[in-house]
Amino acid sequence: MGPLPSRYTPRLVEHMVRLGSKLPFRQAQGELERFSGLRIGVTTLQRQTQQYGAACEAVTAAEVAALEEEGVAPGQGGPKLVVSADGCFVALTTGEWREVKTVAVGEYEAAWDK
């Protein structure tokens, strides 16, 4: 998805959205200022992130509606996938704990079906 109309450069908006979607907005503001030297307001960062998120949701909803309209017969879809997600906390060298998330995706194939 391309950049939305904004008075900010596409690169700055990308940084705002990436940080705003991964960190609390106040913390994202601090990181953005630390790396870019620019002070962007928390509400601006939140608004940019939420606008981009809403646009992504609209694109996804349109794609789902198109797939539902086309209709795929049961059993006629793509390959069967197995998805496994997990998370755990790891100790950092600073003594803090942070959550690590992992996801594995694989194609399902039963050996006895062959």
Predicted confidence (pLDDT) per residue in 19-37, tens digit:
999 999 999 999 999 999 9
Nearest CA to 16 among 59, 39, 49, 62? 49
Residue 92's pLDDT band (boundaries 50, 70, 90)?
A: very high
Listed in sequence order, the residues at least 6 apart from 3 whose beta carbon sits closer than 8 Å to its beta carbon are 10, 13, 14
Task: Calculate the CA 57 to chain-centre distance.
Answer: 11
Residue 110 has pLDDT above 80, yes or no: no
pLDDT tens string 36-77? 999 999 999 999 999 999 999 999 999 888 888 887 665 666
CA distance 54 to 8: 18
Q: What pTM, to 2 d.p., does this model score?
A: 0.57
Domain boundaries, the chain: 10-70, 81-113
